[in-house]
Structure 1
């Protein structure tokens, strides 16, 4: 156990004002999934309080100009939310029109009713908790994750806590499948949900943790191989040289996460998680693959392994694909109804957190009358229906910018590449899954991984680039003093050794 966990000694713990922020971030990232996915207002308020305290103690010593630009971009998102929130809460909005439902209610009741730009007064204030927690998590992830060692520790915290929740989920399903923690389980009795209420969110969470475990295992194995580039003919011999006790704990955690993921029987969660694992593995091994055929062989091998795991561990998932297809018809009809809501309220939406009350008049007759639609099962569509198209587009642009920066970090770094790669892979998984469900609307999932997104963004910039940006006038295009040839060769050899991984 000593070799596969990060080495921790008392000499590592020297007091600084950055320790409280790091401790708060690690605590929140590990504990947020515990109280039933943190979907109730009390849990969300507690995490906002913790993350707010962490931001107050956030270290600024390691922040560099690219990080400040990231924080400025997040500030633009905050300003957009503040403007929309003002319009939806104010009795005298600046530009937003009043919802016609208030005049209709006043005419029917025969009494004057103060109008509002939202269909529910003050609901936007209470619905702000989850987005605020996500914003605080990514800000704290950037400031704490600007230090590479703390960013790596955050990766380990999420991976180990995910394996612990997966172990609990499998054990509780085998021992008492009708309970979630101390409450009765009222839905998904035949599926593992861990500490979450919904099996789809649980599948995305366990799959995301499995992605992180795969990257940690690949990095550890790659570091132990003797060659600078993998010799595939000797790979089996080199792998046998690794002591089993040094790699088995990580493989066990990966297997537990995979078992829990498949036992959720979530089609989209399992399928997208396997896709994220394949992509993350191929990207990590990109330097060791043949230029033309290597990537296709790697992708084909990954798909074959994924299909094998699906048949071996995911029999119930396969049966759901066979019986129900790729998507439910009712969900597609729900998306069409949500598009009608957006078309009627394009600028400021119906109000944050108002989807459950805005949906019934638009509910398609092709949807079963059973149940209440309290979510659109598509986070982008629900966001646009709640806050309007302009703010929805601003958030979409922020996601695009995040993927661009993470991709730049993945293909630009040689050391600690698993930090931006893990953030990019889990971001892809969570975003694609949220287009089909509401994973990112569950704080127990979104808070840990928004923190990871922040750490991945912070580690997508090298210190060398920051020094170029901060030096007066820059150093690009300027000549350097000549160095002796022997000194240049020695420097190149030392740089190669340092930046090998």
Structure 2
């Protein structure tokens, strides 16, 4: 390992913790910092590995890097200036709009500036995936990444909970108005909830990876394990998860809370049915997450208010479903090419039937990506997600490494959670959330590709210690 590669590794970990802090990196100045940071890091990493470039590992992640790269190529094509005559052959409807305003040159995108901005972010996401693929090459580094996300989620949770409990009217970092919901350092409480759900899923995977897979053999060994668990990092991680659950509940996010407890149940069923050499304490962990976190912690910190928000939701007061329905007309008119990445806010007003307020996002990432980039592009991006789900499920069933199986379970739950949440909101538009999700996809490939030595038998070690 070269010094440059080591610095790139530490930079990647710091980046994971930094991205949520400047408003979820959901402002131009903050995502520009990310773009410059990851570009410089990629140059340094490529230079340090130039003579021993890991082409073999890159080939193993073609399923992820190729779709991301091809998607960026398509977005670049959307922003290319074209004569209206040429554009009329490719996309007659778009060319007609440019003719109506008397333009001689147009593009597939209705908003080239927004599309170029999205392209820059997309390239940065692809570079991040490349860095993660190259740098996460051992079980130790997989575990370190999980710890980094747990630390980040815990910090965000402490900050978000304290600002609410202390009745702060302004956020401590940026002086923005602070409501009665926990938002962490994010602008939007639902983005904060989505980020916490991903951190919680990977945190659960980290705890599962530390559970004993073998029988205790005797009460002496069992008691010894109990005491060691109380004094170990496992208990600290469990406390961190409780703090994150408190913050999640205090976001009052309907979908965030519903999805989290649903994926716990779903992940628990998958683990109990398919987990190879299932840890005996896994059932107890799942039950504790459902009972302690839902009923005890939820009762203390206001899960009843989340229930009230769900019960108060009605078709009359909720307009997001109407925005999604009207957005389908955009897809119907531009099914192949889309209107240009980032152009939703400028094209959607032409498809509204009456005033429902200002919508710069569709509040459904499936619909928005299809409207802006076209259906083929959405299918292209869905392929690595399906592959990652299969990798996670296969690792849970077949691999022996506790760390890799636990990580696979956490990634599986995180992917399912994100797939559910983006059906009602625009979480992939926030760079902090998008990067964390890309990291989950990378980890899904790492748990399949990383080779490990056979682990020592813990029961034999326990018995040996007792005899001595």
With the shorter chain as reference, the TM-score category is 0.7 to 0.9
Cα 1:159–1:290 change in 2 (3 A) is: closer
- Match in the other structure for 2:331: 342
d(CA) in 2 for partners of 1:88 and 1:342?
A: 19
Instruction: Choose from 74, 77, 90 the match for 1:96.
Output: 90
Q: Secondary structure of the equivalent of 2:335?
A: coil
- The answer to whether 1:71 aligns with 2:62 is yes
TM-score w.r.t. length of structure 1: 0.78
- Match in the other structure for 1:388: 374
Within a 5 Å distance, the mapping from 1:243-392 to structure 2 comes to 244-246=230-232, 247-284=234-271, 286-287=275-276, 307-308=294-295, 310-313=298-301, 314-324=303-313, 329-365=318-354, 369=355, 371-392=357-378
- Match in the other structure for 2:183: 193
Contact 1:338 1:381 in 2 (8 A): yes
Which structure 2 residue ranges, 5 or more long, are not aligned? 460-468
Which has the larger helix fraction? 2
- Match in the other structure for 2:462: none
Deviation at residue 237 of structure 1 after TM alignment: 5.4
Deviations 1:330-369, CA, capped at 9 Å, x for gaps: 121111111110001111111111000111111243xxx3
Deviation at residue 414 of structure 1 after TM alignment: 1.9
- The answer to whether 1:24 aligns with 2:14 is no
Contact 1:215 1:280 in 2 (8 A): no
- Match in the other structure for 2:156: 165
Deviation at residue 299 of structure 1 after TM alignment: 7.6
d(CA) in 1 for partners of 2:455 and 2:73?
A: 48
Deviation at residue 15 of structure 1 after TM alignment: 4.8
Q: Secondary structure of the equivalent of 1:180?
A: coil
Cα 1:301–1:150 change in 2 (3 A) is: closer
Instruction: Choose from 182, 196, 202 the match for 2:192.
Output: 202
d(CA) in 2 for partners of 1:300 and 1:248?
A: 16
Within a 5 Å distance, the mapping from 1:429-468 to structure 2 comes to 429-463=417-451
Cα 1:359–1:213 change in 2 (3 A) is: same
Instruction: Choose from 198, 202, 211 the match for 1:212.
Output: 202
- Match in the other structure for 1:483: none
Which range is displaced more, 151-160 or 172-181? 172-181
Which range is displaced more, 446-455 or 386-395? 446-455
- Match in the other structure for 1:481: none
Cα 1:236–1:203 change in 2 (3 A) is: farther
Cα 1:230–1:45 change in 2 (3 A) is: farther
Which range is displaced more, 138-147 or 29-38? 138-147
Tell me which structure has the larger Cα radius of gyration: 1
Within a 5 Å distance, the mapping from 1:479-494 to structure 2 comes to none
Q: Secondary structure of the equivalent of 1:179?
A: coil
Paired residues, number: 443
Instruction: Choose from 113, 122, 129 the match for 1:138.
Output: 129
Contact 2:138 2:450 in 1 (8 A): no
Which range is displaced more, 56-65 or 209-218? 56-65
d(CA) in 2 for partners of 1:173 and 1:192?
A: 6
Deviation at residue 459 of structure 1 after TM alignment: 2.4
Q: Secondary structure of the equivalent of 1:373?
A: coil
- Match in the other structure for 1:402: 388
- Match in the other structure for 2:170: 179
d(CA) in 2 for partners of 1:425 and 1:257?
A: 16
Contact 2:214 2:279 in 1 (8 A): no
Which range is displaced more, 279-288 or 448-457? 279-288
Q: Secondary structure of the equivalent of 2:112?
A: coil
d(CA) in 2 for partners of 1:282 and 1:233?
A: 28
d(CA) in 2 for partners of 1:135 and 1:327?
A: 41
d(CA) in 2 for partners of 1:321 and 1:393?
A: 32
Which range is displaced more, 400-409 or 65-74? 65-74
- Match in the other structure for 2:77: 86
Deviations 1:182-204, CA, capped at 9 Å, x for gaps: 43444x71200000111111111
TM-score w.r.t. length of structure 2: 0.83
Deviation at residue 432 of structure 1 after TM alignment: 1.5
d(CA) in 1 for partners of 2:444 and 2:414?
A: 11
- Match in the other structure for 1:497: 456
Deviation at residue 52 of structure 1 after TM alignment: 2.3
- The answer to whether 1:411 aligns with 2:397 is yes
Deviation at residue 180 of structure 1 after TM alignment: 2.4
